Chain A
Amino acid sequence: DADVTQTPRNRITKTGKRIMLECSQTKGHDRMYWYRQDPGLGLRLIYYSFDVKDINKGEISDGYSVSRQAQAKFSLSLESAIPNQTALYFCATSDRTGGFYGYTFGSGTRLTVV
């Protein structure tokens, strides 16, 4: 099994629908992140969490919410999806190993809003 698992891998949804992207990890890391990737823009941070009780907004949090259900689970919700939220979404975890904070990324969720 992958260290960081994202579900679903691909999703097509309609404008206005609520959708949840899920992330679970077996790394035992406290820190978890949601990123969005758009062509030509690299990855941008949506939300991050340093532990179950700590949730922080990233640079593009509008239109998104998150839930940290447990140390191993971090979900991203789009309350009312819109077409410009069509993107590749990555979940990541981090921890200090080998003298620096390394990041482990999930395989990504490709979301299309029509």
Chain B
Amino acid sequence: AQKITQTQPGMFVQEKEAVTLDCTYDTSDPSYGLFWYKQPSSGEMIFLIYQGSYDQQNATEGRYSLNFQKARKSANLVISASQLGDSAMYFCAMREVNFGNEKLTFGTGTRLTIIP
């Protein structure tokens, strides 16, 4: 089974609209962390936001917020008021620690295109 599932290979959104990128995860560990990264066409991985499994509140960072629904095992990224510069690949990732071994597992990504 996939550890991280991103079901939207590509999305097109009108500039200034809000957009939600879906991410579901699978783990039996009680302690884990969820990350979102942005990868523009230049290729670098840019950290956007983090949510810990024990965090009571949904994480927010500027225009980015994480809609964390623990019972549903989903961690969707919400970008408010989208901008042309938001066009990029977006990856959801999960950090697990098993017997001292740490692993960051990535989803397959969603390519977001913002339309002027």
Does B associate with A?
A: yes
- Distance, CA A10 to CA B76, complexed state (A): 33
User: How many residues of B sit at the interface, in one of the four size bands?
Assistant: 20 to 34
Secondary structure class of chain A's binding surface, majority of residues? strand
> In the complex, which residue of chain A has the Cβ closest to the Cβ of B95?
A101
Asked if residues B47 and A100 are in contact (CB atoms below 8 Å), the reply is no
- Distance, CA A45 to CA B95, complexed state (A): 12
Give the one of B4, B106, B107 with max A CB within 10 A: B106
Asked if residues A42 and B47 are in contact (CB atoms below 8 Å), the reply is no
> A29 near B: Cβ within 8 Å?
no
> In the complex, which residue of chain B has the Cβ closest to the Cβ of A41?
B108
> In the complex, which residue of chain A has the Cβ closest to the Cβ of B9?
A40
**A31-53 Cβ-contact flags toward B at 8 Å (1 or 0):** 10101000011111100101000
- Distance, CA A31 to CA B104, complexed state (A): 12
Asked if residues A45 and B52 are in contact (CB atoms below 8 Å), the reply is no
| Residues in chain A within 8 A of chain B (CB atoms) | 31, 33, 35, 40-45, 48, 50, 56, 58, 88, 90, 92, 94, 99-105, 107-108, 110
| Residues in chain B within 8 A of chain A (CB atoms) | 4, 9, 33, 35, 37, 43-45, 47, 50, 52, 91, 93, 95, 101-109
